[in-house]
């Protein structure tokens, strides 16, 4: 009877190591999956964090060529806007005294151009005021008149901050009106 007890005891001990091997394999597989998920999450968090800091400011465009001549799929930097102070200018008299009060922002190609625009601020203000003082109210009332004025202001600013460049292709991309009042 003693001989029979030993084989039963050894048979009872054999199955637990088989279960523990399966358990170890399952735990290792689950641990590997969790580590992969954690690594992927950390990668995406770090990548989005660097985008928020402005380290990755280039944006791929998937559009047809725009008015600045950029081609489809070209890389383009994020726009920089520079708000300018309000302009209040007397217009060329048509029916009594009239004036325009104008507030606008300028879209420039980069931060360096924005700094350059601030440096040339007095000259920009002078030239824009001279441009506005030569206009009639009837020229500025229509949508086309406002668009033409925006283009003229853009060209005027480009000629100041980038004198050698073609005015329409300069670093100032667009003039955006925030307030336009004629009285």
* Residue-range domain boundaries for the chain: 13-52, 79-182
SS3 percent helix, strand, coil of the chain, rounded to 5, is: 55, 20, 25
Q: What is the pLDDT of residue 2?
A: 52
The CA distance from 51 to 33, in Å, is 27
The CA distance from 105 to 167, in Å, is 18
Q: What is the pLDDT of residue 143?
A: 95
Q: What is the pLDDT of residue 124?
A: 93
Half-sphere exposure of 72 (CA within 13 A, CB side): 3
Q: What is the pLDDT of residue 100?
A: 93
Half-sphere exposure of 105 (CA within 13 A, CB side): 8
Q: How far apart are the first and last CA of the chain?
A: 118
- Structurally, at CATH architecture level, domain 79-182 sits in 2-Layer Sandwich (3.30)
Q: What is the pLDDT of residue 85?
A: 93
CB 176 within 8 A of CB 106: yes
The CA distance from 31 to 33, in Å, is 5
Residue 104 burial (10 A CB sphere; 0-12, 13-18, 19+) = buried
Q: What is the pLDDT of residue 12?
A: 52
Q: What is the pLDDT of residue 170?
A: 84
Render each residue's pLDDT in the chain as its tens digit; 183 residues.
555 555 555 555 555 555 678 888 888 888 889 888 888 888 877 776 655 555 444 444 444 445 444 444 445 667 889 999 999 999 999 888 999 999 999 999 888 889 999 999 999 999 999 999 999 999 999 999 999 999 999 999 999 998 877 766 788 899 999 999 998
Q: What is the pLDDT of residue 60?
A: 41
The predicted model scores a pTM of: 0.58
Phi then psi dihedrals of residue 119, to 5 deg: -65, -40
Q: Which tokens belong to 78? A: 């994020």
Q: What is the pLDDT of residue 58?
A: 45
User: Nearest CA to 83 among 176, 181, 180, 183?
Assistant: 176
């Amino acid at each position: 009877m003693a001989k029979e007890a030993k084989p039963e005891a050894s048979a009872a001990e054999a199955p637990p190591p088989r279960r523990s091997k399966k358990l170890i394999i399952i735990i290792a597989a689950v641990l590997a999956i969790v580590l992969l998920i954690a690594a992927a999450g950390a990668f995406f968090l770090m990548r989005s964090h660097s985008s928020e800091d402005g380290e990755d400011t280039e944006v791929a465009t998937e559009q047809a060529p725009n008015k600045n001549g950029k081609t489809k799929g070209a890389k383009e930097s994020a726009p920089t806007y520079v708000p300018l102070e309000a302009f209040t200018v007397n217009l060329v008299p048509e029916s009594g005294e009239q004036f325009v009060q104008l507030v606008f922002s300028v879209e420039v190609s980069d931060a360096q151009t924005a700094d350059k625009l601030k440096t040339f601020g007095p000259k920009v203000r002078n030239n824009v005021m001279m441009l506005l003082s030569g206009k009639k109210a009837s020229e500025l009332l229509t949508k086309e008149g406002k668009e033409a004025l925006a283009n003229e202001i853009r060209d005027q600013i480009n000629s100041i901050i980038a004198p050698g460049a073609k005015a329409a292709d300069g670093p100032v991309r667009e003039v955006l009106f925030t307030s336009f009042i004629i009285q």
